[in-house]
Amino acid sequence: MKVLIADDHELVRDTLAAFLDRERDIETVSVADLDAACAAAQATMFDLILLDYAMPGMDGLDGLAKAIEAGDGRPVAIMSGTATKATAQAALDAGAIGFLPKTMGAKSLVNAIRFMASGEVYVPVAFMTAEEPEKINPLARRLSPRELEVLSGLCQGLANKEIARELNLQEVTIKLHVKTLCRKLQVKNRTQAALKAKEAGVF
């Protein structure tokens, strides 16, 4: 069984590879971003592709579609240490074979990978049914729900046109929201707004 691990954190890649390489029938290849993952998927027929949700090139779940296409429809799963249940469900809805929290133990991880490589959808029941505590970030309190949606797009590196398409709004409306966000967050531009949001733990 061949498994592609795509994650921009070297420690995560090495740890996952170490878990899987212990298995006699599993061979791993590790890469650091989406472009490298797609190139590897085009060159080799993997039984499963594991993508870090937040690594360079992913742009939210857009990278998922690219990886599925590059792998000629082979199973692709999303990994994350911070994504919510809603993100996990969105990944499944977008064609992912599964979702793996990075907090999973080694044995559970190996079992899940075997399950997905065989073509079965996997997501931890405990993760999807756990109660998510209501935590309102102090920075988020200053923003409207719509402003938070736009800010999320900025944090994903999306252009105004892409955010407008995601939210079904006019591009000019997004520009106004970005301007308001910069004023409320006391920053000069969209890049600083995204950095401040990430540093504050809004997303």
CATH at residue 43 = 3.40.50.2300
> For residue 60, what pLDDT band results from cuts at 50, 70 and 90?
confident
Beta bridge partners of 80: 101
Identify whether 19 is part of a domain. yes
- CATH number for the domain spanning 192: value is 1.10.10.10
Q: Is there a domain that residue 175 lies in?
A: yes
pTM: 0.65
Could you report the per-residue pLDDT of 11-30, keeping only the tens digit for each? 999 999 999 999 999 999 99
Same domain, 76 and 168: no
Mean pLDDT, the chain, as a whole number?
92
d(CA 151, CA 14): 32
Rounded Cα gap, residues 182 and 191, in angstroms: 10
Both 125 and 163 in a single domain? no
Q: Give me the sign of the Cα torsion angle 162, 167, 170, 173.
A: negative
> Is residue 134 domain-resident?
no
Same-domain pairing of 33 and 77: yes
The confidence score (pLDDT) of residue 103 equals 86
- The domain of 116 spans 2-129
Question: Do 123 and 34 fall within a single domain?
Answer: yes
Contact, 95 vs 76, CB < 8 A? yes
Which of 129, 162, 184 is at the close of a domain? 129
Q: What total number of domains does the chain contain?
A: 2
